[in-house]
Amino acid sequence: DARVTQTPRHKVTEMGQEVTMRCQPILGHNTVFWYRQTMMQGLELLAYFRNRAPLDDSGMPKDRFSAEMPDATLATLKIQPSEPRDSAVYFCASGLWGENQPQHFGDGTRLSIL
């Protein structure tokens, strides 16, 4: 089965460092989503793309987070500078544009900011 691939699976770094998370969507999928999951807030949508163009990034702290799709096979989420409150599991998901289309999730990047 085709899968969404996320790297790294785990990341531990110190406050103030730049963090880059990568996602390879399923080939042929034209929408990509970034989510953050924490115990307190649950699953939060940070941003999503259609055909590599950002459609909605209202859930993302603009001052430190940025999301891009340099090409159809790579999506990136960057945090600069990172803060302890950014510690969470970050998920990428991909899917097909349109109604009733499910999202296919990667296994996530577990981020710890010390």
Contacting positions for other proteins (CB under 8 A): 4, 31, 42-43, 45, 48, 50, 55-56, 91, 93, 97-108
Smallest distance from other proteins to CB 94, Å: 11
Smallest distance from other proteins to CB 67, Å: 16
* For other proteins, the closer CB: 31 or 82: 31
Q: Burial letters for 81-94: b for 16+ Cβ neighbours within 10 Å, e otherwise?
A: ebeeebbbbbbbbb
* For other proteins, the closer CB: 80 or 101: 101
Smallest distance from other proteins to CB 15, Å: 25
Q: Burial letters for 31-55: b for 16+ Cβ neighbours within 10 Å, e otherwise?
A: bbbbbbeeeeeeeeebbbbeeeeee
Six-digit token string for 58: 């209202």
* For other proteins, the closer CB: 72 or 81: 72
Structural contact between residues 10 and 108, judged by C-beta atoms closer than 8 angstroms: no
